[in-house]
Amino acid sequence: MNWSIGRGRSWPLGTQLRDQGCNFAVYAPKAEKVWLCLFDGDKEVRLAMPDYGRGIWHGFVPGIQAGQAYGFRAEGQFRPSQGLWFNEHKFMLDPYSHALSAPVMPHPSQLAQHEGKIDCPNLTDSAPFLPRSLVVDHQFDWQDDPEPHHAFRNTVLYELHIKGFTKQLQAIPQALRGTYLGLAQPAAIEHLKRMRITAVQIMPVQAFATEPRLAQMGLVNYWGYNPVCFMAPDPRYAVKDAVSEFKTMVKALHQAGIEVILDVVFNHTAEGGHFGPTFNHKGLHADVFYRLADDNPGQFIDHSGCGNSVSSHRSYALREIMDSLRHWREQYHIDGFRFDLAASLGREPLDYDQHCALFRTMTQDPCLVGAKLIAEPWDIGMGGYQLGNFPPQWYECNDKFRDRVRAFWRGDEFCLPDFCTRIMGSRDLFEHQHGVPTRSLNYVTYHDGFTLHDLVSYSDKHNQANGEHNRDGHGHNYNYNHGVEGPTKDPKILAIRRKQQRNMLATVLLSQGAVHLLGGDETMHSQHGNNNAYCQDNPITWKNWQLRPEQEEHCQFVEQMIRIRQSSRLFHDLSFTKTELLNGPAHSRKVHWYNELGQEMTIADWHDNRRQHVSLLLSSSEPRLNAKDGLAEEAFLILFNSSDQAINMRLPGSGWLLMLDTDKNNGLMLSSKKSISGQYLIEGKSLALLTQNPSWYEQLQHNTKETLCK
């Protein structure tokens, strides 16, 4: 090909097809020369970028079409001690790549330095060992894509991995398993619809790389929290074309009424620290893109634990993050984002500030209006734990909910008041938002930790397969094996483990706030005690669809609890005033707490540190305990007992119908109404739900699907 390059535009960054050609623009303010590298097969043609202005090198190449492979090289000073890493031997992917020709795999040629010598550049050409950036035409037939727009308080979020969710689903054609198109298949979507999931949270798909250390051990970065390009869907989950196939997946989920939330990683990149590889940012603009020590620009500041941190408070990095968010919203119709280590993005420059430039920019950007924003509200740096301190538009992953619910059901003492505060929306953490629904995202399991099955089956983590001598993974998990470590055939142990899973799932799904479920928990998926399976791309992490009868029944229980949650606003939409938050867990005319005598909890009751049982009354109006016709239009009574002993609990009022008991019928609703009067014997480690509304009960039973999960 006889390519030529002429004057172009400095905007937009990346590529833009126009005028029978393509504009290229890349930010490299301290480079002395930037080469545009175009590929004709394996042949590389270098064109010197002709224009430079405002730190941006740009040029226009006639004749370029969609699918053209390209990249960059930059010349300049190689002075890592000053934050400068220019090296023309390092081929670089466009930071604004919309697609890559192949997954990024580690190779020694990508390392910046020679043999670990900090000021000695690695002169090996890295181009043969990197994929290419691709020019993309984003035309796609969305067919009036029906974006679901579920209210956050009604959201049931289901976290999944693109490959792990469908890799073993035999109802999907084998060639599509583990891909974007696999998740778009009816068999995958029908499971989500059957479970009444309103949104899927997809683990990272921004093009990422495996760390050299893992590759040397024969492992991979399976989770994907190691990004290379913020705007390109990773090609490892594509059959042919990641861009169109990802859009096809989103469209199929939207047509099923399911929102798509992306787990995005903007806090660090795969380029690591001093001795990491050069993929793009390091060789183009490291001194402005990464956080470097003021008195030592050769030192990377690391709030992520991955070798570097992105300087999101500086103009170029902020622009790239915002352009990425807009790109996923506009081109892929993404409904929201979960931000990995979000506290790092709020550091300005080093201390966290909820009014930082990035968060303020996101708030005013019309493209992000209506997008769901979820914070992992911490990083590993000093002052990095910021739960409850994000802007009002954000929901926050509530690890205090996770830990207290786990501890309560394990039977720990001294935690009942805090447990009750958590299930009522953790208003102590979000107290600056009085009078509105809580912003708590409630969960008991996430990808980074035990699965729910393993949480009640192991007392220790078993991460030997990760190659770190079981030193990795969190060591304090509020987990318990109930008598045997790992698998057992003891029917009593199996029964209590299954019931404990039901207890925790029911607690999450009857709690105030949005809720998050870990994909696989509904079918009791096990990772064999591995609570940090980030490098396990195998059946340890792949969802098993060959279910035993007890797994199918457990799946039906989860669907039932989601249906109950969605049947009444009392389970997810309560708000409180300042007065109603005083003297213990949240209470109001709709919320009342009772002890085992059927009396309202007193201060003395709340201060009884050994108390492990309580009743929660939710009613649509002020309860009328002496009325024969019931409490209110809607009334529900939830009994919690985390002790080992059965307790007779006197019920407030009369006319109660038992809906479910996690100790009976495997937690499934009874086929016929069972009236309860006076008191109810609730077994140890059990939760029961009662109602006073026969018509509501009958309607819920009528709507409950009888078919088990397949």
Length of the chain (residues): 710
Write down the H helix ranges in 424-545. 452-455, 491-509
**Active site annotation includes 376:** yes
Q: Where are the beta strands (DSSP E) in 492-646?
A: 514-518, 591-594, 613-619, 635-641
Q: State both tokens at 31.
A: 């480079």
Q: How would you classify the pairing of strands 656-661 and 686-691?
A: antiparallel
Among all chains, which residue has been given the structure tokens 């609890």?
Answer: 561
211, 287, 340, 537: the active-site residue: 340
∠ CA 376-379-381, nearest 5°, is: 165
Q: How far apart are CA 550 and CA 563, in angstroms?
A: 20
376, 396, 537, 596: the active-site residue: 376
DSSP 8-state code for residue 81: G
Q: How far apart are CA 217 and CA 210, in angstroms?
A: 11
Among all chains, which residue has been given the structure tokens 């708590």?
Answer: 440
Closest CA to 259 of 346, 313, 198: 198
Closest CA to 101 of 228, 231, 242, 282: 242
Q: How would you classify the pairing of strands 117-121 and 14-18?
A: unpaired
Contact 38, 68 (CB under 8 A): yes
Q: How far apart are CA 427 and CA 587, in angstroms?
A: 11
Cα maximum dimension of the chain:
90
**Active site annotation includes 340:** yes
Secondary structure (DSSP) of 256-311: TT-EEEEEE--S--TT-STTSB-SSHHHHHHHHHB-EETTEEEEEP-SSSSS--B-
Q: Is 598 left (phi over 0), alpha (psi -120 to 50) or beta?
A: left
Element (H, E) at 326: helix 315-332
Q: How far apart are CA 308 and CA 304, in angstroms?
A: 7
Contact 419, 510 (CB under 8 A): no
Q: State both tokens at 690.
A: 């009662």
Query: What are the beta bridge partners of residue 158?
Result: 200, 517
Contact 527, 454 (CB under 8 A): yes
Q: How far apart are CA 33 and CA 684, in angstroms?
A: 72
Q: How far apart are CA 507 and CA 697, in angstroms?
A: 19
Numbers of helices and strands, H then E, in the chain: 16, 30
CB neighbour list of residue 6: distance below 8 Å, 6 or more residues apart: 50, 59, 60, 61, 62
Contact 444, 456 (CB under 8 A): no
Give, to the nearest 10 degrees, the angle between helix 416-423 and helix 399-410.
130
With H, G, I as helix, E, B as strand and everything else as coil, classify residue 532. Answer: coil
Contact 527, 417 (CB under 8 A): no
Sign of the dihedral through C-alpha 684, 689, 690, 694: negative
Q: How many CB atoms lie within 10 A of CB 568?
A: 18
With H, G, I as helix, E, B as strand and everything else as coil, classify residue 119. Answer: strand
Active site residues: 340, 376
